[in-house]
């Protein structure tokens, strides 16, 4: 503790206070961290405003589809014909159209396969999938056969295939407001998910010989043409997904008549494809508060053993969607319920084989319903009539109204906690994708974070409303530090094109770092109220439109009134981590100038100085000194107390007090503590500073300082905290809000390091990690047979 004097009242004191906030020895040290993004964002125009909203001349294209397709369950292929009505709303005419041929990515010679980096690691070995991809053995003649491209009159159109893209030359330019109708006939072999791996395909169940189909990215689809990119026809390489124009769909799907089918949209001919019993159960499901089984497990198991006696055509229609997917199998169990979403009834449905039970029957449809309600609250009311969750071997993938979700229990029906949590999380995530990017239609080929990041953020919030103990590690700052601490040259900024993101870091880069960033904005930087309003406004503005990153950044600031340019620059465009530290704390109190207090303090200090080892020993060792024994050897100074307060002292003090105002007098009397904290930003990423003061009496107080503290010096700053109570310890970030990659320097005085534990073991292999306690519990039941001496 050091004391400082107030010499001429409040004016100088105020001056001292300001000085205390800046390090007098350091220079202006800020770089561009707090400069506005300015030209870093595209220039606003009449299509997209500076506020981040669609402009007065905003336009987008429309593509309507009429598709007829048939599944060959013997050879796992699909043959189809589609009639496309393409409407040009751009101010300019178009002479050609681009379509996406996603299935071509699976052909041996696709850019995706040829440009994939590959090596052989003799230590870890190689999977047959990887080897098959290398040798081409996995390619069972995959990719499209385009059989015909014709105009409405049946006349052939010129077309050019460029990898996963196809250009169609129109006979005459398509003017603004006009539509072009044409037809494409095609066929392709469905990929085997087990050997190729992908977002859609088929899974063969060897035990019963039946096949389960999760079919998406399956018909030639129009590319997006917009005011940002012109045609978005960047090649599909596998990682960057896709973007599509909105349109209305009518799709007739012919499959063997013993199969159950679910798809994007509403079933148009239920009486032709469903049994009377199924129709009756669907009617019951409309008012049931829990899922009703439309096709039971027993019925699905019976179908597995049978054979089709013909075909059935399921007709679906969907309005204002950007894509269409379906799933079908004779193995499907089907359950459904209706959920009230902001006053509108919506179907929540699940399709899954018996291998998914009991987990799926208990959770899937309920989680779908929960997701629709929760996301609607935070964005816009779910606008579609249905949302499906389908189980097959696709780990997790989303399409409008349709999601494919992996999590499967063990063959004995038990499952680990991880499998259960993954099921809940992945259904929330994939159903949640209806909002981003299926409704808020961002460009996934370019920006993975715009759908994955925003969706993972809402997924985290929705998981916690399912179960407050859910391990929502994808949005909590402390869990992103392991990614953020890796070397700057081994990670990409979030603002990277999808296919350029280092594959091993794709998860944190596109999912958890943006999601965690949004959670930090909501909890720490903007507060829930401002954040939620702005986030909802973004969804409202861009629902059924095509937003860009700038539209998101601008809307979040425009609707909240919070300047976030520094955050977008640091978190989305940069790779620096957060690492705050308390380098030092200086302690001051005001010198009261009260001679009684000053002299008493001086006496205490002088007495303490005399407590030396020699003096302590001399107290007993020297029986009597000369001065003690002989009074003639004493004089004035032997009895003079230099710490006694004199009249002169008192008079001087009274004179000083008479110069102080009442407020100044109070400040002097309060005896406050002034703690000058030297704070360091070692990581580079600027973040708000949250400091806990733990007082000597065991209580604490938290101080929250906005990020602008760093605006004049983003490396080190001084900040003075004033308290009545004495502080025993200062601690940064008590609520784990800042993804600080090194928390060992976050306390002052520094805490001793926690010990690193090591295991003492006799034998390895008894760990419980990733275990299945449900299976263990079942084995250990009294009825279970235990083999003696077996080690588990």
Place of tokens 């961002």: 442
On the 0-12 / 13-18 / 19+ scale of CB atoms within 10 A, 712 is middle
> Where are any strands of DSSP class E within 330-414?
333-341, 344-352, 386-391, 396-399, 402-405
Q: How far is the CB of 433 from Zn ion (least distance, A)?
A: 6
Using DSSP, state whether 78 is helix, strand or coil. Answer: strand
| Residue with Cβ nearer Zn ion (365 or 512) | 512
| Residue with Cβ nearer Zn ion (498 or 555) | 498
3-state helix, strand, coil in the chain (%, to 5): 35, 25, 40
Q: How far is the CB of 240 from Zn ion (least distance, A)?
A: 13
Q: Which helix (H) or strand (E) holds 372?
A: helix 359-378
Q: How far is the CB of 455 from Zn ion (least distance, A)?
A: 6
CA–CA separation, 546 and 494 (whole Å):
19
Q: How far is the CB of 519 from Zn ion (least distance, A)?
A: 17
| Residue with Cβ nearer Zn ion (452 or 551) | 452
CA–CA separation, 586 and 673 (whole Å):
10
| Residue with Cβ nearer Zn ion (398 or 740) | 398
Question: Contact residues for Zn ion (CB under 5 A)?
Answer: 452
Q: How far is the CB of 242 from Zn ion (least distance, A)?
A: 13
Q: How far is the CB of 104 from Zn ion (least distance, A)?
A: 23
Using DSSP, state whether 233 is helix, strand or coil. Answer: coil
Q: How far is the CB of 550 from Zn ion (least distance, A)?
A: 22
Q: What angle do CA 41, 42, 45 make, to 5 degrees?
A: 135
φ/ψ of 334, rounded to 5, equals: -135, 120
The DSSP line for 240-303 is: S-----BEEEEEEEEEETT-EEEESSEES-HHHHS-HHHHHHHHHHTT-SS-EEEE-HHHHHHH
Side-chain-side CA neighbours of 87 within 13 Å: the count stands at 13
| Residue with Cβ nearer Zn ion (98 or 466) | 466
| Residue with Cβ nearer Zn ion (452 or 714) | 452
CA–CA separation, 681 and 712 (whole Å):
13
CA–CA separation, 312 and 274 (whole Å):
10
Question: Strand 386-391 to strand 402-405: parallel, antiparallel, or no bridges (unpaired)?
Answer: parallel
Place of tokens 């588990």: 792
Q: How far is the CB of 349 from Zn ion (least distance, A)?
A: 20
Q: How far is the CB of 381 from Zn ion (least distance, A)?
A: 22
| Residue with Cβ nearer Zn ion (437 or 595) | 437
Q: How far is the CB of 397 from Zn ion (least distance, A)?
A: 8
CA–CA separation, 296 and 281 (whole Å):
11
| Residue with Cβ nearer Zn ion (390 or 559) | 390
Q: Which two tokens stand for residue 265?
A: 């949209």
Residue 84 CA, chain-centre distance (Å), reads 36
Q: How far is the CB of 429 from Zn ion (least distance, A)?
A: 6
Q: Which two tokens stand for residue 602?
A: 């001086």
Q: Which residue is nearest to Zn ion (CB)?
A: 452
| Residue with Cβ nearer Zn ion (299 or 452) | 452
Place of tokens 């379509």: 99
Q: How far is the CB of 55 from Zn ion (least distance, A)?
A: 29
CA–CA separation, 149 and 381 (whole Å):
39
Place of tokens 């494919």: 404
Q: How far is the CB of 391 from Zn ion (least distance, A)?
A: 17
Using DSSP, state whether 151 is helix, strand or coil. Answer: strand
- Strand-pairing partners, residue 72, are 77
| Residue with Cβ nearer Zn ion (366 or 433) | 433
Q: Which two tokens stand for residue 632?
A: 């003639």
Q: How far is the CB of 241 from Zn ion (least distance, A)?
A: 9
| Residue with Cβ nearer Zn ion (192 or 452) | 452
Q: How far is the CB of 427 from Zn ion (least distance, A)?
A: 12
| Residue with Cβ nearer Zn ion (71 or 428) | 428
| Residue with Cβ nearer Zn ion (452 or 579) | 452
Place of tokens 């045609």: 231
| Residue with Cβ nearer Zn ion (82 or 452) | 452
Closest CA relative to residue 69, chosen from 253, 233, 220: 253
Q: How far is the CB of 510 from Zn ion (least distance, A)?
A: 8
Cβ-Cβ contacts under 8 Å for 779 (sequence gap 6 or more): 786, 792
Closest CA relative to residue 339, chosen from 310, 295, 373: 373
Closest CA relative to residue 17, chosen from 633, 711, 720: 720
| Residue with Cβ nearer Zn ion (331 or 433) | 433
Query: Which residue pairs, CB below 8 angstroms and at least 24 apart, start in 303-309?
Result: 303/258, 303/330, 303/331, 304/208, 304/210, 304/330, 304/331, 305/208, 306/258, 306/330, 307/258, 308/73, 308/256, 308/257, 308/258, 308/259, 309/257, 309/258
| Residue with Cβ nearer Zn ion (452 or 558) | 452
């Amino acid at each position: 503790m050091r004391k400082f004097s107030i010499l001429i009242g409040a004016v100088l004191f105020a001056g001292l206070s300001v000085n205390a906030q800046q390090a007098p020895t350091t220079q202006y040290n800020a770089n561009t961290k707090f400069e506005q993004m300015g030209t870093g964002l595209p220039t606003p125009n009449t299509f997209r405003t500076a506020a981040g909203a669609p402009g007065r001349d905003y336009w987008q294209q429309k593509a309507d589809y009429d598709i007829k397709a048939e599944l060959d369950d013997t050879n796992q292929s699909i043959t189809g014909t589609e009639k496309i009505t393409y409407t040009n709303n751009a101010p300019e005419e178009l002479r050609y159209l681009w379509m996406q041929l996603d299935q071509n990515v699976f052909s041996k010679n696709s850019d995706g396969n040829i440009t994939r980096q590959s090596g052989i690691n003799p230590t870890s070995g190689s999977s047959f999938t990887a080897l098959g991809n290398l040798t081409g053995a996995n390619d069972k003649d995959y990719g499209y056969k385009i059989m015909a491209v014709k105009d409405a009159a049946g006349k052939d159109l010129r077309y050019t295939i460029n990898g996963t893209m196809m250009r169609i030359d129109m006979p005459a330019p398509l003017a603004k407001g006009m539509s072009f109708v044409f037809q494409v006939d095609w066929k392709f072999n469905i990929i085997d998910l087990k050997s190729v791996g992908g977002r859609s395909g088929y899974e063969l169940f060897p035990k019963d010989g039946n096949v389960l189909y999760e079919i998406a990215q399956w018909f030639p689809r129009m590319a997006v043409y917009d005011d940002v990119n012109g045609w978005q026809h960047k090649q599909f390489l596998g990682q960057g997904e896709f973007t599509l124009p909105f349109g209305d769909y009518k799709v007739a799907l012919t499959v063997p008549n013993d199969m159950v089918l679910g798809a994007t949209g509403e079933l148009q001919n239920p009486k032709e494809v469903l049994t009377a019993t199924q129709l009756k159960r669907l009617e019951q499901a409309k008012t049931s508060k829990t899922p009703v089984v439309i096709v039971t497990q027993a019925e699905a198991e019976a179908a597995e053993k049978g054979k089709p006696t013909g075909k059935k055509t399921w007709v679906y229609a969907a309005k204002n969607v950007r894509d269409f997917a379906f799933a079908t199998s004779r193995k499907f169990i089907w359950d459904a319920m209706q959920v009230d979403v902001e006053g509108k009834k919506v179907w929540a449905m699940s399709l899954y084989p018996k291998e998914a039970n009991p987990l799926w029957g208990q959770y899937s449809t309920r989680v779908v319903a929960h997701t629709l309600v929760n996301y609607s609250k935070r964005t816009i009311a779910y606008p579609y009539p249905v949302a499906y969750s389908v189980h097959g071997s696709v780990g997790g993938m989303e399409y409008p109204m349709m999601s494919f979700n992996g999590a499967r229990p063990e063959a004995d029906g038990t499952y680990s906690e991880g499998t259960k949590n993954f099921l809940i999380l992945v259904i929330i995530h994939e159903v949640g994708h209806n909002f981003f990017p299926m409704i808020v239609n961002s460009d996934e080929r370019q920006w993975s974070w715009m759908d994955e990041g925003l969706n993972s953020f809402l997924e985290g919030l929705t998981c916690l409303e399912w179960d407050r103990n859910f391990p929502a590690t994808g949005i909590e700052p402390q869990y992103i530090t392991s990614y953020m601490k890796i070397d700057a040259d081994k990670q990409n900024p979030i603002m990277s094109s999808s296919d350029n993101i280092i594959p091993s870091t794709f998860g944190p880069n596109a999912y958890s770092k943006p999601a965690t960033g949004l959670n930090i904005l909501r909890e720490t930087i903007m507060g829930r109220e401002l954040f939620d309003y702005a986030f909802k406004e973004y969804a409202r503005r861009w629902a059924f439109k095509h937003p860009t990153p700038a539209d998101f950044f601008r809307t979040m600031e425009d609707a909240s009134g919070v300047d976030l340019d520094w955050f977008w620059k640091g978190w989305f465009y940069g790779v620096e981590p957060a690492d705050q530290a308390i380098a030092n704390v200086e302690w001051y109190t005001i010198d009261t100038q009260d001679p009684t207090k000053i002299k008493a303090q001086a006496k205490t200090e002088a007495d303490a100085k005399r407590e030396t080892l020699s003096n302590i020993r001399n107290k007993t060792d020297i029986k009597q000194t000369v001065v003690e024994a002989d009074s003639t050897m004493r004089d004035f100074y032997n009895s003079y107390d230099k710490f006694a307060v004199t009249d002169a002292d008192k008079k001087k003090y009274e004179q000083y007090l008479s110069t102080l105002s009442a407020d100044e007098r109070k400040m002097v009397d309060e005896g406050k503590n002034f703690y000058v904290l030297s704070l360091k930003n070692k990581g580079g990423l600027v973040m708000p500073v949250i400091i806990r003061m733990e007082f000597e009496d065991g209580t604490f107080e938290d101080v929250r300082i906005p990020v602008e503290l760093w605006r004049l010096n983003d490396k080190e700053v001084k900040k003075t905290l004033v308290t009545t109570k004495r502080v025993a310890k200062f601690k940064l970030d008590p609520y784990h809000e800042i993804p600080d990659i090194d928390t060992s320097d976050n306390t002052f005085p520094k805490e001793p390091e926690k010990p690193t534990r090591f295991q003492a073991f006799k034998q390895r292999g008894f760990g419980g990690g990733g275990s299945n306690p449900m299976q263990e519990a079942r084995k250990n039941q009294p009825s279970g047979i235990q083999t003696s001496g077996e080690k588990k």
